[in-house]
Amino acid sequence: MRLQKFLSMAGVASRRKSEEIIKSGLIKVNGKIIYEFGTKINPEHDIILYKTKKITVENYVYIMLNKPVGYVTTVRDELNRKTVLDLINLPQKIFPIGRLDLNTSGLLLLTNDGDLTYKLTHPKHNINKIYLAKLTGELKSHEIKKFCNGLIIENKKTAPAEIKIIRQENNFCLAKIKIHEGRKRQIRKMCEKINHPVIALKRIAIGNLKLNIKSGTYRFLSQKEINYLKSI
């Protein structure tokens, strides 16, 4: 097994981040510092240390969290803000799959399965993500068309998307938005581009997985849900 795959399976970091850790000389195999991330190891016989800690592969866990507003999607935060891991009490070291920004709530997946994390965050898989958005003003048909056809955000056009008005009020509208890209603050930037800034944003689905738990709570995914994510 390649060393970086083992590190991601053990929950040390994602496979990409594990490669950086190896290059930094922080991994020892049988007492020898390893710098080449393609190094093959045998987890049953080799002793692998990260810094001074022995690394073993734990059982995988797969979590769905309903992230509240006010939590950052990271393992630790330099500004000492609340992180999504503050909401989860598990012995295993887990990582978020993708991100929701501080002021966005809703469905977030977390796991210690580095391979699945890499797969679900890779752009080529085009996994649909559905959001409920409260937007300022009244959406016009030409604005909806522009949104769906793609907008230029930071010199790059967004992929085709979907937006459907659920309810229109005098000063705001509630809309369902579907995208499959994962660019930083993408929906907020797209809505600003059509002059309808986001008031509130909540992710309610990733692929076929739908949010079905209360805000601030989490649950383990079923085997059927895990199999689905691995089949994407």
Catalytic residues: 101
From CA 84, how far away is CA 155, in angstroms rounded? 31
Compute the 3-state secondary structure of the chain and give helix, strand, coil in percent, each to the nearest 5: 25, 30, 45
- Number of residues assigned to the chain: 232
Q: Is residue 128 a contact partner of residue 140, using CB atoms and an 8 Å limit?
A: no
From CA 118, how far away is CA 230, in angstroms rounded? 11
Q: If you write DSSP's letter for every residue of 183-230 in order, what string do you get?
A: -TTHHHHHHHHTT--EEEEEEEEETTEE--S-TT-EEEPPHHHHHHHH
